């Protein structure tokens, strides 16, 4: 029976991935900040085990290792945890950090790195495995509204794609999935073009399991739109 570990599994895309993988016959373990009752998991819940823990917890790495141990040989790891918010400059003074900025990097980027540092040696030892990280098409968009979110996703994309090149010859695949707007609690924008459901996002992500590409950008129409609307911001940077 194939096995999968999902970080950020209790809601949104993560929960849709849990359900989709169980439907495919996987044994799945999940970790997220919130509990996930069996009734929300649905069919196949007997093949799912869950741990409620924040990825910023000092015990996070040890618990990821414990979940890997429970699963046995790990075939798939998906990092779907993520947070983001606007920059709150009005909450800043000379004695304060930028309000809310550090947690975004801790969850979006360092939580991914910590997870990979646990699961990658296990996959390399077996000579196979697949790591998928959910980045964002915001990774290259010049926008001052949420710099920590865009920068953390840019870090994710750069790290995942370079790691993919480093380990591909050892039999381990790494995929960077750059999504647009998905109908989750995080998608707070007033205008959300080409919005997709978490289930549609999960289906597109799991299509990666066969070809194991290094990068997936979905939907492509959103990428084209961002490329066009990013020009004023890029021009301001070039002319500054």
Domain that holds residue 215: 3-239
Flag residues of the chain having pLDDT under 50.
Answer: none
pLDDT at 197: 95
Q: Which residues of 103-131 are buried (b: 16+ CB within 10 A; e: fewer)?
A: bbbbbbbbbbebbbebbbebbeeeeebbb
Span 44-56, pLDDT tens digits: 999 999 999 999 9
* Total count of domains within the chain: 1
pLDDT at 222: 61
- Global model pTM greater than 0.95: no
pLDDT at 150: 87
pLDDT at 232: 62
pLDDT at 225: 58
The domain spanning residue 147 has which CATH number?
3.40.50.720
């Amino acid at each position: 029976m194939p096995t999968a570990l999902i970080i950020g599994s209790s809601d949104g895309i993560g929960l849709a991935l849990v359900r989709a993988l169980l439907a495919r016959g996987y044994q799945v373990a999940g970790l997220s900040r919130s509990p996930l009752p069996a009734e929300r998991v649905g069919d196949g819940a007997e093949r799912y085990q869950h741990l409620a823990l924040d990825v910023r917890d000092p015990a996070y790495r040890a618990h990821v290792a414990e979940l890997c141990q429970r699963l046995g040989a790990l075939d798939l790891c998906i990092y779907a945890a993520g947070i983001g918010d606007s920059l709150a400059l009005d909450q800043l003074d000379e004695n304060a950090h930028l309000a809310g900025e550090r947690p975004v990097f801790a969850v979006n980027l360092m939580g991914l790195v910590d997870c990979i540092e646990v699961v990658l040696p296990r996959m390399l030892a077996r000579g196979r495995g697949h790591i998928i990280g959910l980045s964002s098409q915001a990774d290259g968009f010049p926008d001052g509204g949420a710099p920590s979110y865009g920068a953390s996703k840019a870090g994710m994309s750069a790290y995942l794609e370079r790691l993919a090149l480093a380990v591909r010859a050892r039999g381990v695949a790494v995929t960077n999935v750059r999504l647009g707007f998905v109908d989750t609690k995080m998608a707070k924008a007033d205008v959300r073009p080409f919005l997709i459901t978490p289930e549609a996002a999960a289906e597109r992500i799991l299509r990666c399991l066969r070809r194991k590409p290094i990068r997936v950008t979905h939907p492509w129409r959103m990428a084209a739109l961002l490329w066009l609307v990013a020009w004023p911001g890029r021009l301001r940077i070039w002319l500054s």
